[in-house]
Chains A and B, each alone.
Chain A
């Protein structure tokens, strides 16, 4: 069972207290954007085997949205952070790099191999 720490109220909450909200840091494409961007925004989601960034809501607690970094293969939780950002905190990225050297996720990647990170963000 997943246990995530809510960054607002500090409660270590398990799954039944939380609601999963899908991929984190989506950039919204609306009217005026290209068909491809709109399609990707609506239907394409990251589905990585490994490091993943997601939105969660502390639905049966403080009710607030927050972000979490998690491994989809082991269910290890790397950390949580507030919703008021479009970039995960550097300390968290470094912590992930230590545990999963060479990881990439969209435009984010292990800093020591970040030149690879450009290729996967299509």
Chain B
């Protein structure tokens, strides 16, 4: 792999850019790998990357049915924050956020991490109490957040309307070191680094079966033939129920559509990320000038990667009150992704009833921010059988009543 640098740009400028290499190879699958990761999204590629970087395991294949980063990694609103209420969540999301800080240097790939700050608006008395509680919890967890008053919100977000008739802004939870990153670049950067370590990223290769012998996994059947492996990692978000059934176990998740939209590009008007959880809308401005707006999930199981139209209307209507200027914007694009939601809205990073088969799923509506931390924990779990970050995120926690309950903790949008 040739390194990207200012020198490389200058060198290529002098020879008609003829020296750039392909960022990653597209090999045919080998008959056997030490580890197969199913799903070449952010979480899957990050898992492979940290398997190589932290544990020296490089005989790894990452199998993807579509194209790399084409699922939820390419469909989110790119927000990065770690202001969660529960300790296990704060630990893994803060690990992820801190890894984002030097990811561009680590991967030698510009992921455009922009720690511009994230505000979660409190628009009801319940949220005021909830966010103050979260701020206190974050203080104990070592996550830097602070409760700010409406005047400070207005300073940070001049376009906001504090005096909404239904949902006035009563303050906010401010995480100055949260922000956004370029979502595609995260997948591409990891893919390039994995490929450079000798790992195979095999796209357009769908897993059609999981082969087991005496309760342990021995390989997968794919549209490109059977591939053997010693260990298998399932990192396929909305499709995890389908894949786990091939391996013979069930997961406590349901797949629903979550959608987002962007406006036409406009001049810079908001340089932070704002989340308004009461009205189910969140917004940031991309480097291109588009207002990136995230909405809510549909209430029914869905694999179509598109959401219901009326949710767009609800999301935009809700934002109109808090951001009156949104009503003058034309919307450019809308899309949906299939997210896998668990009962307590926390992920599953776990061993499974099938030996040597591990699962990383259930990130629901907030997986992008967790990509490096999730990959870090999953790699550790797969390499050593134990991860301090993933300890609480087992698939059996529901039976034991050990929920990591973010669904009523008001720390998460939906």
Q: Which A residues are within 8 Å of any B CB, using their own CB?
A: 1-2, 15-16, 19-20, 35-36, 39, 42-45, 47-49, 52, 54, 70, 72-75, 120, 122
Residue of B nearest to A122 (CB): B250
| Contact A44 B252, beta carbon cutoff 8 Å | yes
| Contact A43 B304, beta carbon cutoff 8 Å | no
| Contact A75 B299, beta carbon cutoff 8 Å | no
| Contact B255 A16, beta carbon cutoff 8 Å | no
Complex interface residues of chain B between 287 and 323 (CB less than 8 A to chain A): 298-304, 308-310
Specify which of B255, B299, B300, B302 lies most central, judged by the most chain A CB atoms within 10 Å of its CB: B300
Please report the C-alpha to C-alpha distance between residue A36 and residue B400 in the assembled complex, in whole angstroms.
11
Please report the C-alpha to C-alpha distance between residue A16 and residue B251 in the assembled complex, in whole angstroms.
30
Residue from B250, B251, B308, B343 in contact with A2 in the complex, judged by beta carbons closer than 8 Å? B308
Size bin of chain B's contact surface = 20 to 34
Residue from B252, B299, B303, B304 in contact with A20 in the complex, judged by beta carbons closer than 8 Å? B299
| Contact B254 A47, beta carbon cutoff 8 Å | yes
Instruction: For residue A100, give the distance in angstroms from its CB to the closest CB of chain B.
Output: 14
List 16 A-B residue pairs with CB atoms under 8 Å apart, sorted by A's residue number.
Answer: A1-B308, A1-B310, A2-B308, A35-B399, A39-B398, A43-B343, A43-B398, A43-B399, A45-B254, A49-B303, A54-B300, A72-B301, A72-B304, A73-B303, A73-B304, A75-B302
The 8 A CB mask of B254-298 against A (1 = contact, 0 = none) is 110000000000000000000000000000000000000000001
Please, which residues of chain A bring their CB within 8 A of the CB of B241?
47-49
Q: Which B residues are within 8 Å of any A CB, using their own CB?
A: 239, 241-242, 245, 250-255, 298-304, 308-310, 343, 398-399
Please, which residues of chain B bring their CB within 8 A of the CB of A35?
399
Q: Identify whether the interface residues of B are mostly helix, strand, loop, or mixed.
A: mixed
Please report the C-alpha to C-alpha distance between residue A68 and residue B245 in the assembled complex, in whole angstroms.
24
* Sample of 16 more A-B contacts, CB < 8 Å, known A2-B308, A15-B308, A47-B251: A1-B309, A1-B310, A15-B310, A20-B299, A20-B300, A35-B399, A45-B252, A47-B241, A48-B301, A49-B303, A52-B301, A54-B300, A72-B255, A72-B301, A72-B302, A122-B250
Please report the C-alpha to C-alpha distance between residue A122 and residue B399 in the assembled complex, in whole angstroms.
17
Residue of A nearest to B304 (CB): A75
Instruction: For residue A31, give the distance in angstroms from its CB to the closest CB of chain B.
Output: 15
Residue of B nearest to A38 (CB): B399
Please report the C-alpha to C-alpha distance between residue A44 and residue B300 in the assembled complex, in whole angstroms.
15
